[in-house]
Amino acid sequence: MSTFLISCSSGENDEIPTDPDIKPEPPISKDYTSYKTGSETDKETDPIGGICLMGGATESDEAMKWFLERAKGGDVLVLRTSGSDGYNNYMYSRLGVELNSVETIVCKNANASSDPDLHEKIKNAEAIWFAGGDQWDYVSFWRDTKVAELINKGIKERNIVIGGTSAGMAIMGGFYYSAENGSVRSDEALQNPYNRDVTIGNSKFIENDILADVIMIYWLM
Q: What is the pTM of this model?
A: 0.82
| Rounded Cα distance, 135 and 47, in Å | 26
Helices 146-153 and 135-142, packing angle to 10 deg: 100
Q: Which domains does the chain have, with CATH numbers?
A: 4-9+31-38+45-216 (3.40.50.880)
CB-based contacts of 112, cutoff 8 Å, min separation 6: 30, 31, 32, 105, 118, 141, 147
Residue pLDDT tens, the chain, 221 long: 444 444 444 344 455 555 555 565 655 558 999 999 999 999 999 999 999 999 877 899 999 999 999 999 999 999 999 999 999 999 999 999 999 999 999 999 999 999 999 999 999 999 999 999 999 999 999 999 999 999 999 999 999 999 999 989 988 888 877 787 777 787 887 888 888 888 777 788 999 887 877 766 654 44
